[in-house]
Amino acid sequence: MSARPVAKRGQVIGLLGGSFDPPHAGHVHISKAALKRFRLDRLWWLVSPGNPLKENGPAPLADRMQAARAMMDHPRVTVTDIEAQLGTRYTAQTLMALRRRYPGVRFVWIMGADNLAQFHLWQDWRWIMDTVPIGVLARPGDRIAARMSKAAKVYARARIPGRAAHTLGRADAPAWSFVNLPMSDQSSTAIRKRGEW
């Protein structure tokens, strides 16, 4: 297991969770965009032990960590297996544990628009929305589904316009911002199907 990432009180830390099975250029693109558009001090890739919403388990964690570190080389991005260290399985559990261990740090959950479209299926999704700001980055083909999603409708009043996305990290939850970007259409699923992982 890797060392726990370092964060100082008052910093805005973006959290990009996922199985990263495998990590790819789309993850790198989203990360760099999130740092810039949401004015994050740092971003952590939370390489999860497994995704509760997926039937088949991912490749071994050590392999995914090694691949993620080889893919993401940026001074403000940390690749971490902290979920495995904490023993958390769901995003809400991870956020609870991180908030206890890093008092005074402002966490922002980062996700692609495809995740917002099915966010209401996540365990304790309302608690997540009510607890941390959420930065949503558009991916090709997911914009309409995301904007029409249950989470987007329920929390419509908490939406920060894309032109003000830089304020997200300092906003009090519930707060979310949807940013349209020219996105990479790469996906881990497609890479696995092609037999490249």
Ordered mean pLDDT values, 10 residues apiece, the chain (197 residues): 88 96 90 96 94 72 95 95 94 97 97 92 97 89 82 97 96 96 56 49
Q: Report residue 9 as tokens.
A: 């009180």
Backbone angles phi, psi at 144, to 5 degrees: -70, -45
Contact at 8 Å (CB) between 76 and 101?
Answer: no
- Max CA pair span of the chain: 44
* Cβ-based neighbour number of residue 171 at 10 Å: 16
Q: Looking at residue 64, what is its pLDDT?
A: 94
Q: Looking at residue 159, what is its pLDDT?
A: 97
- Amino acid at residue number 138: A
- Amino acid at residue number 74: H
Q: Looking at residue 181, what is its pLDDT?
A: 77
The whole-model pTM stands at 0.89
Contact at 8 Å (CB) between 71 and 28?
Answer: yes
Q: How far apart are CA 90 and CA 29, in angstroms?
A: 25
Q: How far apart are CA 184 and CA 180, in angstroms?
A: 12
Q: What distance, in Å, lies between the first and last C-alpha atoms of the chain? A: 22
Q: For tokens 């997540």, what's the residue?
A: 128
Strands lying side by side in the sheet with 134-137 = 77-80, 42-47, 12-18, 106-112, 134-137, 176-179, 159-160
Cis peptide before 5 (omega within 30 of 0): no
Q: Looking at residue 144, what is its pLDDT?
A: 81
